[in-house]
Structures are given as structure tokens and as C-alpha cells.
Structure 1
Amino acid sequence: MDVRHFDSDALAALVAVADFGSFTAAAEHLGKTQAAVSMSVARLEDRLGKKLFERGHRRVTATVTGECLIGYARQIQSIEAEALEAVADRVTESRVRLGMPDDFVASMGEALLHRFSPQNRALYIDLSCDFSRKLRLMMHNGELDVAIVTQGPEDPPEAVFRYERQVWCTGPNGYPEHEDVLRLAMFSDDCSARPRVFAILDRAGRPWRLAHTSSHVSGIHLAVASGSMLTVLPESAVPAGWRRLGEEDGLPALPALPLVLLVSRSERLAARRLAAFLRHEFARPYEPDIGGVSWIAPTEERDLPAASNKAGL
């Protein structure tokens, strides 16, 4: 490697490892082997005579030198992409298609509107809200550039970029947790987290019945605001003034919700910029006190106990 120049592929590997926290996940994102990505980073380290990453048991973290070079690498990638788009005159590249479940729009949407958009005026976000399994299908079909989804069996642990607390909650004026049979307002059948909530209640011996379902968080809000039902929402989606419930209220602990950031393998600048912003703003590593019980992998849903405590309708 010429000492006066950096190799673009090596810089791409450097940034990917930093973003995904592992060589394996970075290789999958880049469409390369893990050995190829490791070799690219090793050559950079040999050239500079300094370590760029500390290899931990569960996650790779950048050294001070690594952080410095990663910042420059991002700038170089950005300039290269802008140059390519300018000479290609690709007007449609200004749109970036983002997908996420709508219970995260309130918390993440504000940051996108007030911090990302003003800094990226040439881009506009085309937002699609749906359940994670549908968003994954849209990514597979090339209908989205970036998507935030719950962790699936195909996602390695290092792919998780954020752990979101889940909380029991209800309106400010009701006490549905005191009822012998809990009345639940939940997302519809496509919600992958719903069976886990039912199973946790069954294991805790709390009778329950499904009183309301909705495909959108606004429908959950309307039902629960009456005070006669309770639901489970990500902590960031709980409306102001609502009562948050927990084990002290006789309700079982809930697992943290692991979120994965999916990014298309295209070299579009818009997608890379948005993904980098989301990681910077919302990355939240695992904390041992989040939740209190383990997240059950979707492949294990068939092994969940029958809903023996579900009350008859």
C-alpha cells in the first residue's frame, strides 16, 4: 500500500467494523469474508504501526488512533460518494427510504426532523411504518434503504445496536393491574413481541384476556387511555402522564427489546448517512439491569408454554 494514499476498500472495512462492532457483522454488511475484512484492517495497522481496534470477547472497540482515522475515513467516503453522484446526475439519490415500527417514530422522528434533516438538506426521508417481519421483507425486496427491526434468529448478537426497555403501562386514571383478570391492549398478530408477553404472564400465573388489538400505536393509545386496560410499550413510546407499572404492582419483569439496524448493501450516500446518524444518536449497548429476563429468540416461540392463564372471552 502506498504510504501516501489509503485504499478505499480498507477504509470501508475500518468504518464497517466500527459501526457493527465486529468483524463478522462488518463482513456480512460488505458482502465479503470475515478473513478479508480482518486482513484489510491488519494491513492498515501494520502500515501505521498502531492498533486501530481492541478485540474484546463480545465486541470490538476502536482505539484512540482508530477513532481518529475512522473520522477521516467517513469524510473520505462522503466526498467520494458525493463526487460519484454529482457526475452521474442521479437526482433520485436525494431520497432515502427508512422503515421502522411506528412505536419508535415519536422518539426517533424528532431527532430526524430537528437534527438530521437540517444537516442534510439535499436529502429527504421516505418513512414506512410496519411490523419488523414486514420491514425485513421490504428490505429483502429492495423497497427500503434502512430499517430498524427487532432482533431475529438470523441476526448475530453483535448486530444489535440498541436495547430498548419494555414497560407495562396504563392511562393516568385507571388501575387495571388490580383486576383479577388483566385486560390487555396489544399490537395485532404480526407483532413478534406479543407472544413473549403472553408467555411471561403465564409463567407468572397472572390471568389475562386480550381486550383490544391495533396495528398502530395510536390505536393502542386510544384504548389504554380509558384506564381500563394496560399494555406493553417501549419505554420511549410511553405517553407523558401515563402510569408505568412493574413488579411492585404485581406484574412480571419484561425483557429488553433488542433492535437491529438493517442497511442495504448499496453504496448510496443517503443510506450511509442516515444509518450513521441513527447509530450515533440511538445506539444503546446492553445493560445488565434492563428488563430482568432474557429475550426469547423468535425460533423458540414454538416452545412457549400454552396460554393456560388466558381467561375465556
Structure 2
Amino acid sequence: MKRLDFGQLATFVAIVDAGSITKAAASLHRTQAAVSIQLKKLEEGTGKQLLNRSYNQFTLTHEGEILLSYARKILNLSEEAFNAISDEEVSGVVRFGIPDGYARAYILNSLKQFISRFPKIRIQIKNDNSHNLYQSLREGELDLILATRDPKESGGQLVRREKICWVAAKDYQLDISQPIPLALYEQGCAYRHNIVEKLNQNEKDWFVSFECQGVTGFDIAITNGLAISALSESLVKDEWRVIKPSEGLPDLGEIEIELHMSPGDVSEAVRCFADEIRNQVSNIQVS
């Protein structure tokens, strides 16, 4: 029976999380050559190329994405098994920031399970838009954030990529010959910037009908036909409809969601919760 090597899987995950073999080697306290050899052995053992390599960067192959998901589960199960028989339970405080839309879509069902596994870890959650969460992380107010990717913010790990959809109430009739009523987050939100920029580029008239601080505002504005908006696929509710490309609105591309940790050494509690969030968010299936 063929089995995957545990050490090779851990090295593979470290490379992906660090974003390069050089950084992974530093985090693992090993030489770059040793890390490269581990990756090569894993690829030889599976008979698959796991990374598409180019100068100073890489992307996961299809097989690499599949294996990464399994590798994280294997490593997490190992950690969970160790904690289950260990006399020393992981403890501490995790100050976590997440936009409330992402909270509803990604962690609503996982927090209770995590707390039951790690009863001595206390989670403190701050809901805010991504722009403000980045600032809170820089100022040392948070240990970990899940946020929409901002090109100006380095050091994050990509955990999810989703298509952005235009959405409206089921019976909403869009007339693009008239100014378009929009429900938008406040200034500084990446979603808002992308929506406004694309509408302006396509010379569409629009106005802000409903400025929202959280998902409740979008629920009210969209469900009642007061406005339309654009959200990532996993945030689309069943009572809404996705506006078709044929209706004349510009394509908004994809949104990238990243996990950012405070610089320097992080506690075991933060690391455990980061692993949980990473696995939960990356493995959610959009229906």
C-alpha cells in the first residue's frame, strides 16, 4: 500500500503558506536545498507535478490544489490526536478580525466545533470592513484577520478566490438606461472600489441608494428591491437572483480572500485557529 510521507506533506504545506521555498526553509529552520529535496520526493512519490514554478514565484497545479487540501486535513488530524492525549491543552486568547459577510458565509458553523476541540482558547472577534481590519492588525490590536486582498497589504496567504456576482431581488427589473441604485459598503471597501470603477469605465450612471456597514443593510436593500449590489458567490442569498451578463452590467472578475497574521512569533492558540479558518474557508463549496 502506498502512503504519503508525513514530513513531505508538512514541507509542502509550509512552502505554500510561506509563498516560496526560501521563506519556507527559514520557517522550518532547514536549508533551501533540503526543502527542495522534500518537495521533489513528494512529487516523485505521487507521480504528479504539484507546483508550476517561475522566477521567484509559483502557482499550484490542479493536483497540487487537491493534495494541499488533504495535506492540511492530515496535519490537523495529527495535531488534534496529539492534543487529545496530551496533558497540556492549548490555551490563550486569539483576537480575530473578519468582515461580517465573511463571518456569516465562512465561520458560522465552525466556531462551535473549534471551541469544543480547544476549550481553553478564547476567541475575541471584531467585525469590520477589510480596510479597517488591516489597520487594526498593523496597530497590534488583532492577531489574525480574514480579509479581501489589498495589493498594498503584503504578507497574506491566499485562501479563497471567488467570482463576484451582481445580485438583485427575485422580481427586480434592471433598467440600465436609468441611474442604477446601489447598495455599497462604506468608503475603503475593495468591493465598493471595484464596483464603482467598473461602472464608470463602462459609462453607466449610478447612485448610492443604501450605504451599508454590514450584511443586514444588504439584506434590507436588496431583498426589498431598493438597490442592487455585487458580492462574492458564497454571500449570495437564496432569495436573491444573480443578474445575468446579458442584462448589460460589466463583469467584475474575481475577489481574493487572504489570511493575515501579525508579524513575528505567534502563539500556538493563534496558529491553531489560523489552521481552522484556512481549512474551513478554502473547502467551502458554493452551491
Provide TM-score, normalisation by structure 2.
0.73
The residue number in structure 1 matching 2:195 is 197
1:106 and 2:104 correspond: yes
Which amino acid counterpart does residue 52 of structure 2 have in structure 1?
A: G
CA deviation after TM superposition for structure 1 residue 25, in Å: 5.9
Q: Aligned in 2, Cα 1:204/1:24: closer, same or farther, shift over 3 Å? A: farther
- Whether the 8 Å contact between 2:164 and 2:252 is mirrored in structure 1 is yes
1:70 and 1:234 map into 2 onto residues whose CA distance is 25
Q: Which has the larger radius of gyration?
A: 1
The residue number in structure 2 matching 1:188 is 186
- Whether the 8 Å contact between 1:21 and 1:158 is mirrored in structure 2 is no
1:167-202 alpha-carbon deviations (Å, 9 max, x no partner): 111223332445611111111112123122112112
1:275 and 2:269 correspond: no
1:134 and 1:37 map into 2 onto residues whose CA distance is 38
Question: What does 1:285-296 align with in structure 2 at a 5 Å threshold?
Answer: none
Which amino acid counterpart does residue 240 of structure 2 have in structure 1?
A: W
1:163 and 1:153 map into 2 onto residues whose CA distance is 15
- Whether the 8 Å contact between 2:180 and 2:205 is mirrored in structure 1 is yes
Q: Aligned in 2, Cα 1:229/1:270: closer, same or farther, shift over 3 Å? A: same
2:117 and 2:239 map into 1 onto residues whose CA distance is 33
Which amino acid counterpart does residue 280 of structure 1 have in structure 2?
A: N
CA deviation after TM superposition for structure 1 residue 146, in Å: 1.6
Of Structure 1 and Structure 2, the greater strand share is in 2
Q: Aligned in 2, Cα 1:20/1:249: closer, same or farther, shift over 3 Å? A: farther
The residue number in structure 1 matching 2:222 is 224
Question: What does 1:49-128 align with in structure 2 at a 5 Å threshold?
Answer: 54-57=50-53, 58-59=58-59, 61=64, 71=74, 75=78, 86=88, 93-128=91-126
The residue number in structure 2 matching 1:145 is 143
- 3-state SS in 1 of match to 2:108: helix
Which amino acid counterpart does residue 199 of structure 2 have in structure 1?
A: L
Q: Which runs of 5+ in 1 are unaligned?
A: 1-5, 285-313
Q: For this pair of structures, how many residues does the alignment match?
A: 266
Which amino acid counterpart does residue 241 of structure 1 have in structure 2?
A: E
- Whether the 8 Å contact between 2:114 and 2:276 is mirrored in structure 1 is yes
Q: Which runs of 5+ in 2 are unaligned?
A: 1-5
Q: Aligned in 2, Cα 1:39/1:77: closer, same or farther, shift over 3 Å? A: farther
- 3-state SS in 2 of match to 1:59: strand
Report the RMSD for the aligned CA atoms in angstroms: 4.1
The residue number in structure 1 matching 2:245 is 247
- 3-state SS in 2 of match to 1:236: helix
1:43 and 1:217 map into 2 onto residues whose CA distance is 47
Question: What does 1:126-165 align with in structure 2 at a 5 Å threshold?
Answer: 126-154=124-152, 159-165=157-163
Q: Aligned in 2, Cα 1:222/1:278: closer, same or farther, shift over 3 Å? A: same
The residue number in structure 2 matching 1:174 is 172
1:260 and 1:270 map into 2 onto residues whose CA distance is 19
Q: Aligned in 2, Cα 1:68/1:74: closer, same or farther, shift over 3 Å? A: same
- Whether the 8 Å contact between 2:72 and 2:279 is mirrored in structure 1 is no
Q: Aligned in 2, Cα 1:154/1:17: closer, same or farther, shift over 3 Å? A: farther
- Whether the 8 Å contact between 1:174 and 1:228 is mirrored in structure 2 is no
2:20 and 2:187 map into 1 onto residues whose CA distance is 34
